[in-house]
Amino acid sequence: MPERTAPSFGEMLARLVSRPTILMEVCGTHTVSIFRNGIRSLLPKELTLLSGPGCPVCVTDQSEIDAALSLASLSGVTVTTFGDLLRVPGRDGSLLDARGRGADVRIVTSAFQALETALREPERQVVFLAPGFETTAPSTAAVLLEAAEKKATNFSVLSLHKLVPPVLRVLAADPNLAVDGLLLPGHVSVILGEAPYSFLPEQHGIACAIAGFEAEEILLGLTELLRQIRTNRPTVRSLYGKAVRPEGNARARELMERVFRPVDAPWRGLGVLPSSGLALREEFLPWDAAQRFPLPTTPAQVETGCRCGDILTGKLTPPECPLFDNPCTPASPVGPCMVSSEGSCAAHYRYALRGTP
């Protein structure tokens, strides 16, 4: 028998795809890894891979940035948050611009650093702007519990947290977006487990695979999605078992549910989505920046021509946005998909347009 070699992933994907197929990666970290590793170059022409709304910075609404800018303008207030959020434009510039004008805006890498700042500087009112999905919300919850325990009255949180299953529910029901399969976010799934996604295959016939972030793990996830589609047996399957337990992290969810309650929330370009955000429960309202400080109520949305909403839902690819590359670039971003390193516009610009790693 002549010796044969194992097929490459590209060959395997080409053999499994039997019709024009649309897959979407939901997580921004997947988006970057797909570009960085040249995975798109391996895809057969029948397979379209879209980037979804999986970058928390990108989906932070202009109204939320405006609220943050309003907080930063108050005397005696220190605003703390993760670095990516600083450059997202609001109605009157970004938090970075505000810092340039003298506002006390500081970067932290963890919510607990924000609380430490408050404990160290009792004369300041320290606000933590808390973006992020289910991966990040439990850590904010843990810090709020600690703030309550330590009676840190000069600490508060502006919750910008958002939830992944509700936005997937909206995408799945969108008749203009016929997605056959979803590459689900690995680290959101560490917290959620598999069950919260079950409506996708059961109600919408969408194939689902939870995958890690290395090139081989992503390719394996895409292969599994095509296998489910080819056999017409959509399900939720995890291929990231070293980190994701089927039941998720129950303790993290318990902390999150103790501190937060689901609320309707604004998503950049998508509008207000039902039960897709997290607000502090009544017991924690003394630490809610939205209660402690006056915030703008309904700020006018600025019309920039930015198509981030269409890009976040896979209706447009970044180069199809009229602002892409001119004038919107990572150095001078118009919309948040170009701001965050995990935004699909920034990834296209860096890896596909410029071709530099």
Binding-site ranges for other proteins (CB under 8 A): 1, 3-9, 12, 15-16, 27-29, 54-57, 82, 84, 109-113, 131-133, 135-136, 138-139, 142, 185-188, 190-191, 216, 219-220, 223-224, 227, 230-231, 237-239, 241-245, 249, 251-252, 255, 340, 342
Q: What is the Cα–Cα distance from 49 to 41, expressed in whole angstroms?
A: 11
Amino acid in position 32: V
352 CA to centre of own chain: 21
- List all residues 6 or more positions away from 282 whose beta carbon is below 8 Å from its beta carbon: none
Question: Which residue number, 218 or 299, has a Cβ lying nearer to other proteins?
Answer: 218
CB of 33 to other proteins, least distance (A): 10
Question: Which residue number, 79 or 226, has a Cβ lying nearer to other proteins?
Answer: 226
Cα-based distances in Å from 263 to 50, 247, 260, 278, 293: 28, 24, 9, 6, 20
Tokens linked to 139: 């850590």
Question: Which residue number, 26 or 200, has a Cβ lying nearer to other proteins?
Answer: 26
Question: Which residue number, 79 or 137, has a Cβ lying nearer to other proteins?
Answer: 137
Question: Which residue number, 104 or 342, has a Cβ lying nearer to other proteins?
Answer: 342
Burial of 310 (0-12, 13-18, 19+ CB in 10 A): middle
CB of 249 to other proteins, least distance (A): 6
CB of 77 to other proteins, least distance (A): 22
CB of 184 to other proteins, least distance (A): 12
Question: Which residue number, 219 or 306, has a Cβ lying nearer to other proteins?
Answer: 219
CB of 214 to other proteins, least distance (A): 10
- List all residues 6 or more positions away from 47 whose beta carbon is below 8 Å from its beta carbon: 13, 17, 21, 23, 222, 226
Question: Which residue number, 27 or 334, has a Cβ lying nearer to other proteins?
Answer: 27
CB of 202 to other proteins, least distance (A): 20
Which DSSP letter does residue 3 get?
A: -
Are the beta carbons of 78 and 91 closer than 8 angstroms?
Answer: no
CB of 154 to other proteins, least distance (A): 21
Tokens linked to 104: 């006390």
Sheet holding 104-107, edge to edge: 104-107, 77-81, 125-130, 155-159
Instruction: Using alpha carbons only, give the angle 62, 276, 253 rounded to the nearest 5 degrees.
Output: 125
CB of 238 to other proteins, least distance (A): 8
Are the beta carbons of 307 and 58 closer than 8 angstroms?
Answer: no
Q: How much is the CA Rg of the chain, to the nearest whole Å? A: 21
Question: Which residue number, 83 or 296, has a Cβ lying nearer to other proteins?
Answer: 83
